[in-house]
Amino acid sequence: MTDSSSTIPSIPLPERMRPDSLEGFVGQQHLVGPGAVLRKMIESGNISSFILWGPPGVGKTTLADIVSKELRRDFYTLSAISSGVKDLRDVFARAKDNSIFAKGSPILFIDEIHRFSKSQQDALLGAVETGTVTLIGATTENPSFEVITPLLSRCQVFVMKPLEVADLDTLLGRALTCDIYLKNRIIEVKEKNALFRFSGGDARKLLNIFEIVVNSFPPDSPVIIDDATVADRLQENISIYDKNGEMHYDIISAFIKSMRGSDPNGAVYWMARMLAGGEDPLFIARRMVILAAEDIGLANPNALLLAQSTYDAVHKIGMPEARIVLSECAIYLATCAKSNSSYMAIDAAMALVEKGDNSPVPLHLRNAPTKLMKDLGYHEGYRYAHDYAGNFTDLEFLPEGMSGTVFYNPGNNPKENEIRSRMERMWPKYRK
């Protein structure tokens, strides 16, 4: 790195600005702010294994590094993309060799832990259980789907959020005043809206964009930054910009909205953009599984089956042939009738439960495997549906006081119109 204003440094701005303490860390105050859960763990000096889940550029790697420095622990880092079981075992061996000198178990940071296979995660599980290492995982994917249950049960999951405008503004100001290269240039930032809009809450993207724009000016000339300049310079450097995450979040949003909006042409276009940009085809397939359940649901239950089959097929055959399977599924989902009734039903039920509802199970719905349970009335009054005409008998299945509650409201589409008719025949609460 150099302090000359006429030489472009070889180290990218995000790396030059990476903080090494909690005081310098920007954002995620719900985790590291005064009194927050992760800060308390760090201050106590006693941390357990945890997973940081959030979009790119919000500080997952930086935070893991800061934790190791604050606790003065040995720090090992692996990328799930390039590491295998052998690399894990090498780390475990080194950790055990150094354990007699260490103040606490070393920290193993695994970036993109969702890309670890089941066998790799199984190999990791034992070391976490025995305390050979304290695991910090980072993932952009929901760990509930991507991390094996035994490992997930031994880790806390901390959700990291996109940075807010105030955080981005802090980062920008810090770069202008503290970076050894930028502070020696004459830079005037007249407008920031485009910088913040294009960065999308991603600190790395913000600093990369800013450096692209600054470096587009002659080395010895003043730099004037406004919204039009930012948009113009990014258009010239679109391939650099895309690699830093724009496709992963902005374009996947357009892809999902196109299918939800029943436009197969938009869906195929945005999919092509993602595939051309090197997006993981399994990421696309996972999003289609979610959409099939959330936005199509019972309007066409086959959509979920096709989406799941698509995920399996993409996993088995890979690119470039996987693009054909993905395209077929995207077009099918886009042209399906839409309903979010099942999505709304579970959210309504969970909202009630989360308010503290803990109603006891009615006695007639409880099993009675012992005499005592039978004497207490367990199972008494239960009627077996298949013993009645039409395999149905009018029985209350909700807790006392909730009779008549409706969580599921069928959507207005051919399939759910049939469901509604059937529900109206059986249940008075659907005859309103």
Look at residue 84 in the predicted model and tell me its pLDDT: 78
Strand order in the sheet with 50-53: 75-79, 107-111, 134-139, 50-53, 156-159
The 10s digit of each residue's pLDDT in 92-139 is: 888 877 665 556 788 889 888 888 888 888 888 888 888 888 889 998
- Cβ partners under 8 Å of residue 251, min gap 6: 270, 273, 274, 277
Domain with CATH 1.10.8.60 in the chain: 165-240
Residue ranges, comma separated, of all CATH 1.20.272.10 domains in the chain are: 241-335
In terms of DSSP bridges, do strands 187-189 and 223-225 run parallel, antiparallel, or are they unpaired? parallel
Cβ distance 274 to 255 under 8 Å? yes
Collapse the DSSP code of 268 into the 3-class scheme (helix H, G, I; strand E, B; otherwise coil) and give the result. Answer: helix
CB distance 30 to 161 below 8 Å: yes
The per-residue pLDDT for 4 is 46
* CA dihedral of 224, 227, 229, 230, whole degrees rounded to 10: 110
Q: For residue 333, what pLDDT is reported?
A: 96
CA–CA gap between residue 287 and residue 304 (Å, rounded)? 11
| Domain 165-240 coded CATH 1.10.8.60 | yes
pLDDT given for residue 374 in this prediction:
87
Which CATH number is 28-159's, of 3.90.1200.10, 1.10.1760.20, 3.30.70.260, 3.40.50.300?
3.40.50.300
Q: What is the DSSP letter of 351?
A: H
Please tell me the predicted confidence (pLDDT) of residue 275. 86
Which amino acid, one-letter code, is at 60? K
pLDDT of the residue at 373: 84
Low-confidence ranges of the chain (pLDDT < 70): 1-9, 98-103, 235-249
pLDDT per residue over 28-47, tens digit each? Answer: 899 988 888 898 888 888 88
Closest alpha carbon to 126 in 73, 180, 49, 214 = 49
CATH number of 241-335: 1.20.272.10
**Cβ neighbours, 10 Å, residue 79:** 14
Beta-carbon contacts of residue 284 (< 8 Å; ≥ 6 apart): 252, 255, 271, 274, 275, 314, 326
| Residues whose CB falls within 8 Å of the CB of residue 43, separated by 6 or more in sequence, listed in order | none
Question: Looking at the DSSP assignment, which residues form a beta bridge with residue 139?
Answer: 53
Tell me, what DSSP letter sits at residue 136? E
pTM: 0.56
Predicted local distance difference test score (pLDDT) of residue 237: 53
- Contact at 8 Å (CB) between 148 and 121? yes
Spatial separation of the C-alpha atoms in residues 112 and 1, rounded to whole Å: 29
Burial class (CB in 10 A: 0-12, 13-18, 19+), 125: middle
CB 90 within 8 A of CB 117: no
**Where exactly does CATH 3.40.50.300 map onto the chain?**
28-159
Q: What is the distance between the alpha carbons of residues 59 and 204, in angstroms, rounded to a whole number? A: 9
